[in-house]
Amino acid sequence: MGKSADKAERADNAGGRDGTGKGAGRDGTGRAAEPKPEPDRAVDGSPWSRIPVLSALPHWGGHSADIARATAIDLAVLAGHMLLYPTGMLPERAPAPPRPSRSAEPGAEPDPAGQAPALLPTEGRAHPPVLMLHGFVDNRSAFALLRRSLLHNGWTRVQALNYSPLTGDIRTAAAMLGPHIERVCEESGHAQVDIVGHSLGGLVARYYVQCLGGDARVRTLVTLGTPHAGTRAVPALAPHPLARQMRPGSAVLEELARPAPGCRTRFVAFWSDLDQLMIPVESARLEHPDLQARNVKVSGIGHLAMPVHGSVAAEIRRALSGPGPLRDAIDAA
């Protein structure tokens, strides 16, 4: 019995039994066992990565959970925006800014009618008027929260504009923008305005600045998710001509890529690493050797959330406050 037990113990040690009657790493026949396949696991730990459509998109690689969350936020923004959309269908009436008096200033003399002389519209106000241009098939209601943010932080004249969805050319929309800017400058007493453009609205404003002499009137142009280099998310045979003009290589984008020496407008382009409508996402960056352009990366949100996110609004206010330093990136997650 003792010798048999010793032999069994030595066999166990040599075979590396694991208590199951089989040698560890062997299948019971003396051959090495095949490794067991690991359970199906997403690359980034998320079940969203298992969805072929998401994982196949190159600019979403490794970010499936993030893009799913950003898409959910965009859908929530869209749902809220649909409620506001009817309120933005009519053009906004821009009230005349108040004209404060000098009655409290020492030495001020009243006018013959007994009224204190009024200040010029530009005196005492550091910020020029801000105009906002919405994206494709949208309207001015997209800027409801951003407009409120600016008004609550010292801006006195903020106006969101509508342009007709029947406009079939970015050049036409840009030409229509010019007279409105002239009227705003005349009414406000400011020589220049600032513009915030979302998506297609940024291209309309940029064309006005670069190709129609608008750099004399636009001090700063802020773009949000604007396809400066064109986006492949738009089908090549898109039925609407405005959509086709946002494709890479369109005639309008080729015009904007031409030299623009001496352009005086300052550009700030916000682009998102999870923008579902910019393919690739870097197409919303503004790269032009003749333009004073600053690109700000926004992480964690998609296309529709950019005009409504608080962190983006704070950096827009900073950009519109003057040529001071801006952050290179914003974590909006």
The domain locations on the chain are 127-331
Indicate whether 232 pLDDT > 60. yes
- φ/ψ of 269, rounded to 5, equals -110, 115
Q: Tell me which of 3.30.365.10, 3.40.50.1820, 3.30.70.20, 3.40.50.2300 is the CATH number of domain 127-331.
A: 3.40.50.1820
Task: Read off the pLDDT of each residue in 166-190 and give the average, rounded to a whole number.
Answer: 94
Q: How confident is the model at residue 72 (pLDDT cuts 50, 70, 90)?
A: confident
Percent of the chain as helix, strand, coil, to the nearest 5: 35, 15, 50
Rounded to an integer, the average pLDDT of 192-203 is 97
pLDDT in the model for residue 240: 87
35-69 pLDDT per residue, tens:
444 443 333 443 333 433 334 344 444 567 777 77
pLDDT digits (tens, 9 = 90+) for 106-165: 444 444 444 444 445 554 457 999 999 998 877 878 899 999 999 999 999 999 998 876
**What is the reported pLDDT for 60?**
47
- How many CB atoms within 10 Å of residue 61? 13
DSSP result, 129-187: PEEEE--TT--GGGGHHHHHHHHTTT---EEEE---TT---HHHHHHHHHHHHHHHHHH
- 69: amino acid identity, one letter: R
Encoded tokens for 68: 């799913």
Give the pair of three-digit tokens for residue 210. Answer: 């670069």
**Mean pLDDT confidence for 85-94:** 58
The more confident residue out of 266 and 28 is: 266
Q: Is the pTM of this model over 0.75?
A: no
For residues 49 and 61, give the distance between their C-alpha atoms in angstroms, rounded to a whole number: 9
**What is the pLDDT of the chain when averaged over all its residues?**
78
Position 322 pLDDT exceeds 50: yes
Q: What is the mean pLDDT of residues 79-88?
A: 61
Long-range CB contacts for residues 211-215, cutoff 8 Å, separation at least 24: 211/171, 211/174, 211/255, 211/256, 212/174, 212/175, 212/178, 214/174, 214/177, 214/178, 214/181, 214/265, 215/263, 215/264, 215/265
Per-residue model confidence (pLDDT) at position 173:
94
- pLDDT tens digit string along 257-312? 999 999 999 999 999 999 999 999 999 999 999 999 999 999 999 999 999 999 99
pLDDT value at residue 121: 52
More confidently predicted of 213 and 108: 213
Q: Does residue 161 contact residue 200 with C-beta atoms inside 8 Å?
A: no
Q: Is the pLDDT of residue 184 over 90?
A: yes
Given a cut of 50, whether residue 243 has pLDDT beyond it is yes
